[in-house]
Amino acid sequence: MTLVRQLLDQAERTPEAVALVAGDGTELTYGEVRRQVLAVRHGLLANGLEPGDGMLFSVRPSPESLVLALGVVAAGGVVVFADPGAGSEMFEARLRLARPRWSAAESLLYAASRLRPVRAYARHRGLLLPKLADLPMRHLYVGRRLPGVPRSALSFTTLIQGNAPAVDLPDDPDAPAAVIFTSGTTANPRAVVHTQSSLAAALELFRARLPLGPGDIVHTDQLMLGLPTLISGARWSMPPLFCSAADFARQLHERGATHTFCVPVHLAEVLDEAPELPESLRYVLLGAAPAPAGVLRRAVSAAPTAEVLSVYAMTEILPVAIASAAEKLAHTESGADGDLLGAPLPGVEISIAEDGELLLSGPNLCSGYLGDEPLKELPTGDLARLDERGLVLMGRKKDMLIRGKFNLYPGLYEPAIAALDGVTDAAIIGLPDPETGDEQVILAVVGAPGIADRLRRRLPNVIDHDALPDRILVLPDLPRSGRGRKLDRDLLRELARGGKA
């Protein structure tokens, strides 16, 4: 059964129950969610959306974005998650790959991408917004109409006010449902394609490991935890946009959250504000980056009655394994090598290549990368071993860095940077923070005088904004070693620890 069908069936069973609580406290019942999703579906079909049509999606997490995304998938469309701040060249490269026929964006984003003062301010803040209204596709806006919204654009508000006839939804589990861009360059953007089946399998794995049901309250902005919440009849509590750590902690208490999810660096900030988490919490999930022992200990101390869990997942296949804080700390304190990830979840198949690389497959594996052949097994780029405790991460085959929720592969960006005028050589390294698990991104370059300032202006148009460096280090040469003159990243990290930006 597809995820949209599961959610609508749950909504039909408990129409009066509160499904969503928005950041500002506004509540939406299951019955209203169902009505709005079907109304959006009906409105899109009536306005020409066809099966397989991509919808470029530039709407931040909110009840409106959830309803709209579900309505698109229910109509047979594909949600193409966009990042308008990725830089104009990157944005255009992604458009060429995905070829969406529709665009959905907040009216504020349409206005900001057209009005010169707003564009100038955004550029000053390092955000280069594309002119969404000029894209040759059908447009849909969320929010009140503002200058810059195309005249012919459909209104989300108008769509949800319509009446949808009772119909049987098509139930094609192999139909593409979402396209998610990952690290890439303007020359080679990369996008993961998930089907209704792979997403439904992922949600079922979360539900199996995290018992959810009526009465539970899940506080998160993460769609992949919010959806199983709704399918289970529980309540999804959304934090407000640009939520501070103090506000996040306050809402955990005020809303009586039973479950929450944080990136380790974010949880550390929350615990700085609130050393004691609410007694209502039963599960604290950590993910998107390795959870350092210090953060795990603080979480256990702050929520002694909760189970603190660390989730190992990738955009292509999620979740893969879940380990408790107790298991991870016992592994660390025993002196064992590596980072314990836990036992693979039911249905997730693993194998270890001869060079130690972890290979994954299972029902929750994406169908592949947009434009490529179907994916049967995922080479993760992670080095791992399997022992009696479960999967243990031993390192990375690739020099991947982790910044918040973003996986940064230096090899995807270094050639494009090195090809810029005035740059002779370029390398990206990370200096990890052992307290938070996050990494500071450092770009080391060999180049002409003044190259650092020129790169700060130029890079937002060349690489993902999440890959932009925290520091730029200018060197006379990059350190190399061996007969092959291979880049010595370890020595480069040493230089960066004492280098000047």
Burial of 305 (0-12, 13-18, 19+ CB in 10 A): exposed
- In order of their start, the domains of the chain are 3-171 (3.40.50.12780), 198-357+374-396 (3.40.50.12780), 401-498 (3.30.300.30)
Q: Is the pLDDT of residue 452 over 90?
A: yes
Q: Is the pLDDT of residue 239 over 70?
A: yes
Q: Which of 290-294, 395-399, 456-460, 468-472 has the lowest mean pLDDT?
A: 395-399
Number of H helices, E strands in the chain: 16, 28
Positions of E strands within 82-233: 102-106, 138-142, 154-155, 176-182, 190-195, 217-219
Q: How high is the pLDDT of residue 493?
A: 86
Beta-carbon contacts of 413 under 8 Å, excluding residues fewer than 6 positions away, are 183, 185, 428, 463, 464, 467
Go through 97-133 and write b for each residue having 16 or more CB atoms within 10 A of its CB, e for each that does not: bbebbbbbbbbbbbbbbbeeebbeebeeeebbbbebb
Residue 210: closest CA among 235, 237, 232: 232
**pLDDT tens digit sequence for 328-350:** 888 888 877 788 899 999 999 99
Q: How high is the pLDDT of residue 501?
A: 46
Beta-carbon contacts of 330 under 8 Å, excluding residues fewer than 6 positions away, are none
Q: Is the pLDDT of residue 309 over 90?
A: yes
**pLDDT tens digit sequence for 346-403:** 999 999 999 889 999 999 999 999 989 999 999 998 889 998 888 998 877 767 787 7
Q: Rounded to an integer, what distance in angstroms lies between the CA atom of residue 370 and that of residue 469?
A: 27
Residue 92: closest CA among 12, 181, 29, 173: 181
Q: How high is the pLDDT of residue 138?
A: 96
User: What number is the average pLDDT over the span 191-220?
Assistant: 92
User: N- to C-terminal Cα distance for the chain?
Assistant: 53
**pLDDT tens digit sequence for 292-306:** 788 898 999 999 999
Q: Rounded to an integer, what distance in angstroms lies between the CA atom of residue 413 and that of residue 458?
A: 13
Report the amino acid identity of residue 111: A
Q: How high is the pLDDT of residue 134?
A: 86
How many percent of the chain have pLDDT more than 90? Answer: 53
Q: Rounded to an integer, what distance in angstroms lies between the CA atom of residue 438 and that of residue 346?
A: 29
pLDDT category at 185 given cuts 50, 70, 90 is low
- Residue 102: phi and psi, rounded to 5, are -130, 155
pTM strictly above 0.85 = no
Residues in the chain: 501
Q: Rounded to an integer, what distance in angstroms lies between the CA atom of residue 381 and that of residue 362?
A: 17
